[in-house]
Chains A and B, each alone.
Chain A
Amino acid sequence: MLYLKDLHKQYGKVVALESISLEVERGETVVIMGPSGCGKSTLIRCINRLTEPDRGEIILNGQSVLALSDSALQNLRRNVGFVFQQFHLIGRLNVLENVMFHLVLGGMERTTAADRALAALKKVGLDNAVSRYPHELSGGQQQRVGIARALVTNPELMLWDEPTASLDPILVGEVLDVMEELVRTTNTTMLIVTHEVSFALRVADRIVLMDHGRIVEEGAPDVVFADPESEIGRKYKRLLMS
């Protein structure tokens, strides 16, 4: 479904991505892990071109993402859910509006959009907070709104950019539970950037380990964490065993 080939991204003299190639099957849950600054977020943002890669190729459903026109890119983005590390909710809109507004702007009837938004909010357990504003919510709740907003379009691909990194440990669980539930109950292809090793072990079909902008190891979780080849893999193994 998704095919990345020789992807490069550089910020000045800093190399963020170096020759990244990756293939993700439909319905597959791929967890990308690695130390901070290794290029995980850059990689995931390049997929829907929130960040423009310097070179390489991104093929989604047989379509070259980098060759898309502005309007085609916008269409593609509507079918790719994106969950941000820092939620990125619209501060002046309430919970319901945050989840439905892009549906309306995309041409959907307001009532239909509201129904779908409510359904999405129900999935994340926030259907009782529709009229609240982001600043009235906890971090975990805000992130669940962010998840609902990504889910509401029934995307075929979900990109998760460290969704629990901004949460305090107590709130992490509620988000991970929602994510795990979604993995289990939907057939959506998921690309998840996270540091949550046990979560990865539980939900991932495949683990991709990155370091210094490069993929250093990939494979099934039980393989990667049981017998890692890379230094990063070994570190994660030690973490699991501790």
Chain B
Amino acid sequence: MEAPGEEEKVMLSFFRDGFYKDFIVLIVLTIILGAVFSSGIAWALDSYFGDALDDMIGEYGEYDVILHIREESKDAAMRELERIAEQHFKGARLSQTLTIAGQANFFFGLPEECRTRDILENIASYFGGVPGLNGYTLIIEPSILIRGVHSGVRSELQEQIEAIPGVEFAFRDGSNMIVLLTDEEHSREVSARVEEILAQYQIVELRFPMGFEVDTQQVGDEAINIIKKMAPGRRYSNVTSAEYGEELDAFLKTLVEMRDFLMSYASKVRITVDPNVHLAVGEQIAVQGTSGQELEPTASITDEHVLIEVTAVYGDMAEGMITRGSIAQSIDKLVQKGYGVQSDGVITDFVGEVELENERYRLAYAISESLRLLEELDELSVQANAAVDNADAVLNTFQEALMQLEVLQVQMRQLNDGIAKGGTGSTGEQLLVTLLLNGLFQSLAQAAVNAGEGSIDSLENLDIEEMRTSLNGISEQIANVQDIDVQAIIQQIEFVRDTLPNLEDEEIGQSIRLINTYLGGQVIPGERIQILVHDGSVDEKEIEKTLQVELDNPYLHTYSTSVGMVNPDARSEIFRILKEVRAIVAGMLAIIYTGVILVLDHATIFSTLKYIRAARKPVTNRWLRIFDPIKILGGSLGALILFTVYQLSRAQIPMVTPPMIALCGFVIGLLIAIFAERFSPVHTKEIMAGQALGLSNVQIMREIVIPAGRPGIMNLLNRWKQQF
């Protein structure tokens, strides 16, 4: 059994004859250089990004607002901003910076006298008319940003915050509150004080599932009374925010309407369920669709098949919705055989006849036919108007002819009477006139018979005026039709046709599913009541059960939120991130540096130590093999260098604690000690020659090992002491 001190002796003798001084200097210098290296590079990166940031967003406090403008409007926006600056903010600073993703950004710095609460709270009203404005971000400095300030406590908070020394004023920016400071140096203490103030409040939120109609005032008051009994000594008020609820209601109504529209717009699917099949809502059915492929049980469905989800079952009838694929563009009903489909896409048995009606195509067809009708109607009215005019003209002609006939009849009678009175003896001329007149009258009489009247008297009986009135009525109606702006109707129907969603059945089906998911309460919370707790807090989970019982609603849940959250402003946030990045980079560099320096310098020492030890008596002690002094030295050295460099360079890797860093250094050092000969092999023959020539360890190191070793700090330091 070997003396346990032999190993230590090897190491001690190695360092004892003078090399320990070199070694100590090496370690100190390694640590100092490591800290300078890690923090220097990290600082350079930090500085570079900081400068780049300053270039991008200006110096601290230089600008107060970033205006986000659509790229195509930036020229117009610049002119308008210059006008606004001239009109409202004389002396304002304006600068255009980066354009990112089609959005140009303009910086606007308010003159000192314009940095008032009124202006800042109403900043949107000044810039609302800027062409292409997509929004703005306040970057006023020095400031503290409080996010998500509840409207129920905003005024109270503002009053308290403005009383804090170092606060110039606080103002609202949407749901946030910005606390403007008199000086940046107050930032830390004001932040702390604001957090203290915020901590005095708590919002307890009572959430009800979707579908519950709650009178938020009444139930809120009831809840407050219950909570008061459970947690007395605090003040409570119902601060349920209406804004959010109303917006949500409107959104939900829109969703419901949209879903109903989509359901009516989707193809109708009716399933006549086979008597041997029990169909349930949610099951999948496949039909052939437009593909020529017959469905075969046990086969898998293809992309060309149509997949239907059963949405309702009424005895032997069911309804469904197409969730994949589309059916033919036809107004006719399509009947196909439906087969069940497993979740893995395998077709199962026949489930029934499926009737499919393409409602979208029918609607489009109806609109198209309506447009044709309207175009015909326009033409028809014109032609009808011309027909009425013609009829009226015919009537006038007829009336005039009738009057002339009556005059002719009278004149004939007079002529006949005159002839009769002229002499007893008929002459041949008289006889001829009489015969002609009789013939004429007979012809006229015959004409009247042909007209259905039987005589001129009957022609006179025709109600021409009545006919004219009727024609006038028709004419007026035609005029009324012509007054209708058929073209406008056509345009609007065309507009409706064009604006109808161009959706396939599967898109409609998926959208309906998604809307149902939302409406089912999986995404959107239901009704809620918010109770503000002053001067303390309550355990919301403790009161939840009591509220469930007392308010008779087992689905009620309670949550606790703060009335606001202190956030560093955007710039500080960026700098904080940069600082974090710097610390992470420093940490990574410290680790890399430790590894490299251990390989370049210390691995040589470990290799030499191992060689020297090998010439001694071999280690037989099991514990010494486990707790090998060279490995322990390597680990300790790694831990020391990494830990110290890490701390000195102010490195900080998230989730990594200083003991973990020391452990990491130990592991690196240990590994390098184990594999030292591979990392840094030494010339053992030269070392042996040095030993044989009576050189001390320090001389061997300085004159043989280090000069032939890897270039590093040790090599550099050694040059001062090296004689050959």
Contact = CB atoms under 8 A, between A and B. Distances in A.
A50 interface: yes
Interface residues of A, number: 32
B691 A71 contact: no
Nearest to A12: B618
B699 interface: yes
A51 interface: yes
B225 to A, nearest CB: 87
**Category for how many chain B residues contact A:** 20 to 34
Contacts of B692: 48, 50, 77, 80, 82, 84, 88
A31 interface: no
Contacts of B616: 52
A71 B17 contact: yes
Interface stretch (B327-335, B445-453, B574-582, B681-689): B681-689
A214 interface: no
A26 B244 CA distance: 109
Contacts of A187: none
B409 interface: no
Interface in A62-107: 70-71, 74-80, 82, 84, 86, 88-93, 97, 101-102, 104-106
A104 B615 contact: no
B657 to A, nearest CB: 43
Nearest to B16: A70
B708 interface: yes
Contacts of B695: 74, 102, 105
A149 interface: yes
Given A90-B704, A97-B724, A105-B723, A75 B694 contact: yes
B689 A105 contact: no
A76 B691 CA distance: 11
A131 to B, nearest CB: 14
Contacts of A71: 17, 696
B688 A101 contact: no
B693 A77 contact: yes
A11 B618 CA distance: 8
B686 A104 contact: no
Contacts, number: 72
B229 interface: no
Given A52-B616, A104-B723, A105-B703, A78 B689 contact: no
B131 interface: no
B13 interface: yes
Contacts of A75: 694
Contacts of A11: 618
Interface in B442-494: none
A88 B685 contact: yes
Nearest to B9: A70
A52 B615 contact: yes
B688 to A, nearest CB: 6
B691 A50 contact: yes
Contact of A76 (B618, B694, B699, B703): B694
A79 B694 CA distance: 8
B278 interface: no
A54 interface: yes
A9 to B, nearest CB: 9
Most buried by A among B616, B683, B693, B695: B693
B421 interface: no
Contact of A106 (B13, B686, B694): B694
A89 B690 CA distance: 9
Interface string A44-55: 000010111010
Contacts of A82: 692-693
B5 to A, nearest CB: 15
A88 B694 contact: no
A74 B690 CA distance: 10
Contact of A84 (B615, B683, B688, B724): B688
B132 interface: no
Contacts of A78: 693-694
Most buried by A among B615, B689, B692, B724: B692
A174 to B, nearest CB: 21
B617 interface: yes
B615 A51 contact: yes
A124 B695 CA distance: 24
A161 B664 CA distance: 46
A77 B693 CA distance: 6
Nearest to B13: A70
B50 interface: no
B61 interface: no
Interface string B685-724: 1101111111111010001100110000000000000011
A50 B683 CA distance: 15
A14 B407 CA distance: 164
B686 A88 contact: yes
Most buried by B among A12, A79, A86, A102: A102
B694 A77 contact: yes
Contacts of B686: 88-91
A91 B688 contact: no
Given A50-B688, A70-B13, A71-B17, A102 B617 contact: no
A102 B689 CA distance: 10
A105 B708 contact: no
Nearest to B687: A88
Contacts of B708: 91-92
B723 A84 contact: no
B617 A84 contact: no
A88 B708 CA distance: 14
Contacts of B723: 101, 104-105
A93 B691 CA distance: 17
Contacts of B724: 93, 97, 101, 104
Nearest to B685: A88
Contacts of B615: 50-52
A23 B691 CA distance: 24
A1 to B, nearest CB: 18
Given A11-B618, A91-B708, A102 B685 contact: no
Given A74-B694, A82-B692, A97-B724, A105 B685 contact: no
Nearest to B699: A105
Contacts of A93: 724
Contact of A102 (B13, B688, B694): B694
A106 B699 CA distance: 10
Nearest to A100: B724
A104 B689 CA distance: 15
Contact of B685 (A48, A52, A86, A106): A86
A151 to B, nearest CB: 12
Most buried by B among A51, A90, A149: A90
A77 B708 CA distance: 23
B689 A89 contact: yes
A31 B691 CA distance: 24
Most buried by B among A52, A74, A86: A74
Given A52-B615, A75-B694, A78-B694, A101 B689 contact: no
Contacts of B617: 52, 54
Instruction: Please give me the 6 A-B residue pairs with the lowest Cβ-Cβ distance, nearest first.
Output: A78-B694, A77-B694, A88-B689, A102-B693, A82-B692, A88-B685
26 contacts: A12-B618, A48-B692, A52-B617, A54-B617, A71-B17, A74-B694, A74-B695, A75-B694, A76-B694, A82-B693, A84-B685, A84-B692, A86-B685, A88-B685, A88-B686, A91-B683, A91-B686, A92-B707, A97-B724, A102-B690, A102-B693, A102-B695, A104-B723, A104-B724, A105-B699, A149-B693
Given A50-B692, A88-B692, A105-B723, 20 more contacts: A11-B618, A12-B618, A48-B692, A50-B688, A52-B615, A74-B696, A75-B694, A78-B693, A78-B694, A88-B689, A89-B686, A90-B704, A91-B708, A92-B708, A97-B724, A101-B703, A101-B723, A102-B695, A105-B695, A106-B694
Interface of B: 13, 16-17, 615-618, 683, 685-686, 688-697, 699, 703-704, 707-708, 723-724
Interface of A: 11-12, 48, 50-52, 54, 70-71, 74-80, 82, 84, 86, 88-93, 97, 101-102, 104-106, 149
